[in-house]
C-alpha cells in the first residue's frame, strides 16, 4: 500500500480499518467523537449566559440545584449528584423563553 498514490477515500477506509482493528468498534467511535465539529458559536453562547453571573451566583446555583455545597475538613468538595454541565443545561433551559 503506497500512501502517496492512494485517493482520499482509500486513505479514509484504511484509517477507519486501522482504528477499528486497534481500538475496536467502540474505541474507534469514541476516538472519532473527539473531532466532531459541532454547531454554533460556543464562545458567543457562553458569554450570553455566563456574563450575567458572578462566581458567588454560580456557587449558589450549584448548591441550590444539588443540595450539596459544603466542604469537608480536609477540603475535598462533596461532589454534586449531577455534573456541572448537566446543571448548567437545566438552568439555561429554564431561563430560555418558551416557543409558542
* Same domain for 81 and 61: yes
29 and 52 belong to one structural domain? no
Residues 6+ apart with CB under 8 A from 80: 62, 65, 66, 68, 87
Q: How many domains does the chain have?
A: 2
28 and 58 fall within a common domain: no
Residue 5 per-residue DSSP state: G
Q: Give the helix/strand (H/E) hosting 59.
A: helix 55-66
Residues 28 and 48 in one domain: no
Position 71 scores a pLDDT of 45
| pLDDT recorded at residue 72 | 43
3-state SS, residue 52: coil
Do 6 and 18 contact (CB within 8 A), yes or no? no
Chain-centroid distance, C-alpha 88? 12
19 and 61 fall within a common domain: no
pLDDT of residue 70: 53
Per-residue pLDDT tens over the stretch 29-75: 888 888 877 777 878 888 887 788 788 887 787 777 766 655 444 44
> Are both 46 and 84 inside the same structural domain?
yes
Using the 8-state DSSP alphabet, how is residue 71 labeled?
B
Domain containing 81 equals 42-70+77-95
- The predicted model scores a pTM of 0.36
Same domain, 46 and 85: yes
Q: Looking at the structure, tell me whether residues 15 and 47 fall in a common domain.
A: no
Amino acid at each position: 500500500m503506497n500512501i502517496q498514490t492512494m485517493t482520499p477515500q482509500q486513505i479514509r477506509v484504511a484509517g477507519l480499518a486501522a482504528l477499528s482493528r486497534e481500538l475496536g468498534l467502540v474505541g474507534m467511535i469514541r476516538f472519532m467523537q473527539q473531532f466532531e465539529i459541532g454547531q454554533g458559536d460556543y464562545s458567543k453562547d457562553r458569554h450570553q449566559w455566563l456574563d450575567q453571573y458572578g462566581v458567588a451566583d454560580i456557587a449558589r446555583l450549584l448548591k441550590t440545584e444539588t443540595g450539596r455545597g459544603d466542604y469537608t475538613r480536609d477540603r475535598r468538595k462533596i461532589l454534586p449528584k449531577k455534573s456541572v454541565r448537566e446543571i448548567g443545561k437545566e438552568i439555561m433551559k429554564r431561563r430560555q423563553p418558551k416557543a409558542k
